[in-house]
Amino acid sequence: MKLSRFYLIFSAVGLLPIALSYGVDPNRILPKLLQIHPVEGGVIHIFRAIMGLYLATIVLWLLGAIRGGGLMRTALISEIVFMVGLAAGRILDLLVAGWPSPMLMAYAVAELVLAACGVFCLKQFDGKAEVTETLPISNSGRAV
């Protein structure tokens, strides 16, 4: 459980600066970070919507880490799906458009590693949940 909490908090903290880079001041930050030059209007709106989606996801991960239980399981699944989805998109781009910048390839590797860590945490979480679940026992010693 402690590993799952750490994992969710680590992922949330790591995603926060990326989320903010998309929406706070994308015209200033994205050219420096990713050599992307957004224009005013619709493109900026899309980057800010992505920021909102990332921030909402961060909230789910943090709530799962803090509250535990079923919410932690949901947060773990969400984190796995999120990371696999990002990595799959990057791999598709690699196949269609060729090699992106080294930084974006590093992101893909990190996303796959984090997804694998998430699967490990989820298996550990589910294993502990099975061990701690017990049947109610009556006074006669039989399962109710």
Quick one: pLDDT at residue 45?
Answer: 86
Q: Give the Cα-Cα-Cα angle 77, 83, 87 (nearest 5 degrees).
A: 145
Matching residue, tokens 């893909």: 108
Mean predicted confidence (pLDDT) in 5-10: 96
Sequence length of the chain is 144
Tokens of 81: 């799906």
Matching residue, tokens 């006074």: 139
Contact between residue 83 and residue 57 where contact means Cβ atoms under 8 Å apart: no
pLDDT per residue as tens digits for the range 14-60 = 999 989 888 888 888 878 777 777 667 788 888 899 999 999 999 99
Quick one: pLDDT at residue 66?
Answer: 96
Alpha helices by DSSP H, the chain? 2-23, 26-34, 42-67, 69-97, 102-132
Mean predicted confidence (pLDDT) in 1-25: 91
What CA dihedral angle connects 91, 97, 103 and 108, to 10 degrees? 0
